[in-house]
């Protein structure tokens, strides 16, 4: 009896440890934070296939001037080439000192959470602006195959920043799309400027073929943190072609 009890106990503990290990690894693999830092993302995502172009309109909310960690919002997508998986993300980066959102373009290698491309622009915006974001990879046989094109434009004046990234070889289609507010600051009260305001991604669409017609996408609202917990005062909802990230009581 004692021997059987020992075996049962050992089996139970073994099972618990195995489950815990698998759960932890699964959660860590769900997304990425640059350089292994701890971050959270609130927004939406959707698994796709064969997509070459995603684009959306988005507004600029008040800048969270008291944030102490890097904060940005972006559309983006995953693309795989061989054993490499990249996240490409045209974005607006909070610059608390300037009280502005700055256009930056970025791609990250999932394998190590490190940047492979990072471009600063000279375009900064306060709240109340309408912007356009686009993220593209090119199909097999295209003259730009293996590259990634990112574009963020100011829809009121028309200035913009775009770039063809070719530092690494990207895939020929996207397989997961995102719209996220991302931060490395876990203190909810630091986002008080966003109270009663929202980041609204609208007209979020994708295209499967070059020159094809855009299709509005319905993403699934998500809240994720690599460790710790994302602020409970920020939430997201998603509908057809829309993702709204709202703050209340931060």
d(CA 71, CA 200) in angstroms, rounded, equals 16
d(CA 180, CA 89) in angstroms, rounded, equals 10
Binding to another protein (CB under 8 A) within 15-34 occurs at 17-18, 20-21, 24, 28, 33-34
Contact with another protein (CB under 8 A): which of 151, 208, 216, 224?
151
130 and 57 Cβ atoms separated by less than 8 Å: yes
Contact flags string 43-62 toward another protein, x per CB under 8 A:
---------xx-x-------
132 vs 221, beta carbon nearer another protein: 132
Question: Which residue pairs from 208-216 have beta carbons closer than 8 angstroms and sit at least 24 positions apart in sequence?
Answer: 208/50, 208/51, 208/52, 209/52, 209/139, 210/52, 210/139, 210/142, 214/53, 214/55, 216/240, 216/241
d(CA 239, CA 241) in angstroms, rounded, equals 6
In the complex, what is the shortest distance from the CB of residue 196 to another protein, in angstroms, rounded to a whole number? Answer: 25
Give, as one character, the DSSP assignment of residue 195: B
d(CA 242, CA 214) in angstroms, rounded, equals 14
Q: Does 189 bind another protein (CB under 8 A)?
A: no
Nearest CA among 22, 8, 243 for reference residue 133: 243
In the numeric block, the tokens 């356009």 are attached to 132
d(CA 195, CA 233) in angstroms, rounded, equals 9
Contact with another protein (CB under 8 A): which of 22, 23, 35, 66?
35
3-state secondary structure of 10: helix
Tokens at 208, concatenated: 């499967």
In the complex, what is the shortest distance from the CB of residue 4 to another protein, in angstroms, rounded to a whole number? Answer: 10
The residues facing 87 across adjacent strands are: 78, 108
In the complex, what is the shortest distance from the CB of residue 80 to another protein, in angstroms, rounded to a whole number? Answer: 18
Q: In 10 A of CB 117, how many CB atoms?
A: 19
Q: Does 10 bind another protein (CB under 8 A)?
A: yes
Contact with another protein (CB under 8 A): which of 19, 23, 68, 237?
68
In the complex, what is the shortest distance from the CB of residue 244 to another protein, in angstroms, rounded to a whole number? Answer: 22
Contact with another protein (CB under 8 A): which of 127, 202, 207, 239?
207
164 vs 220, beta carbon nearer another protein: 164
Contact with another protein (CB under 8 A): which of 44, 58, 136, 181?
136
Q: Does 160 bind another protein (CB under 8 A)?
A: yes
Q: Does 38 bind another protein (CB under 8 A)?
A: yes
Contact with another protein (CB under 8 A): which of 59, 81, 109, 192?
109
By the criterion CB under 8 A, which residues form the site for another protein?
A: 2-3, 6-7, 9-10, 13-14, 17-18, 20-21, 24, 28, 33-39, 52-53, 55, 68-70, 105, 109, 112, 114-123, 134, 136, 138-139, 142-144, 149, 151, 153, 157-163, 165, 167, 184-186, 207, 210-211, 214, 227
């Amino acid at each position: 009896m004692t021997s059987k009890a020992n075996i049962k106990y050992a089996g139970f503990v073994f099972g618990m440890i195995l489950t815990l290990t698998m759960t932890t690894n699964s959660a860590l693999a769900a997304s990425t934070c640059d350089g292994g830092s701890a971050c959270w993302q609130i927004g939406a995502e959707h698994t796709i296939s064969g997509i070459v172009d995603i684009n959306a309109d988005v507004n600029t909310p008040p800048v969270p001037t008291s944030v102490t960690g890097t904060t940005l919002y972006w559309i983006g997508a995953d693309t795989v080439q061989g054993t490499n998986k990249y996240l490409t993300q045209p974005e607006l980066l909070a610059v608390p000192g300037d009280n502005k959102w700055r256009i930056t373009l970025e791609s990250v290698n999932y394998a190590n959470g490190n940047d492979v491309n990072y471009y600063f622009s000279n375009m900064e915006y306060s709240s109340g602006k309408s912007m356009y974001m686009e993220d593209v990879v090119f199909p097999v046989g295209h003259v730009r195959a293996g590259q990634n094109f990112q574009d963020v434009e100011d829809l009121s004046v028309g200035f913009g920043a775009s770039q063809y990234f070719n530092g690494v070889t990207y895939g020929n289609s996207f397989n997961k799309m995102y719209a996220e507010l991302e931060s490395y600051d876990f203190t909810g009260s630091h986002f008080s400027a966003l109270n009663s305001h929202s980041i609204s991604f609208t007209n979020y669409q994708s295209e499967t073929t070059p020159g094809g017609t855009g299709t509005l996408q319905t993403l699934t609202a998500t809240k994720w943190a690599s460790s710790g917990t994302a602020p409970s005062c920020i939430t997201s909802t998603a509908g057809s072609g829309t993702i709204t990230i709202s703050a209340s009581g931060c």
